[in-house]
Amino acid sequence: ARWMMYWVCFGIFSACEVFSDLLLGFWFPFYYELKILFILWLVSSYGNGARIMYKHIIHPEFEKREEVIDTYIATAKEIGVSSAMQFIRKVTAVFNKAMNHVLNLVSYFSL
């Protein structure tokens, strides 16, 4: 569970880092050094950074938005299944067309 909390925290940090680098990277002294210290705090078993951040910030926010997250997951599942089925139908159609073409060539050259 410790590493799960770390990777969730690190993933959120990485997503936010893209924007914070653009906004703060040039203007804030020791910004990159502070980022390294933050990551070390997250991974450290001494400070329990990931556990503290997950238990007090991330998990409560997930609980508040659980229904919305579940709705997004269900929608993504529906879209994924329908996209996969559409892809399979297209691949099957292309394969059938190619096989018909090959059979026509074989019958043409076998005469």
pTM of the entire predicted model: 0.66
| pLDDT score at 111 | 67
Give pLDDT tens digits for 71-110. Answer: 999 999 999 999 999 999 999 999 999 999 999 999 888 8
Query: What average pLDDT is seen over the chain?
Result: 94
Q: Which tokens go with 5?
A: 């909390």
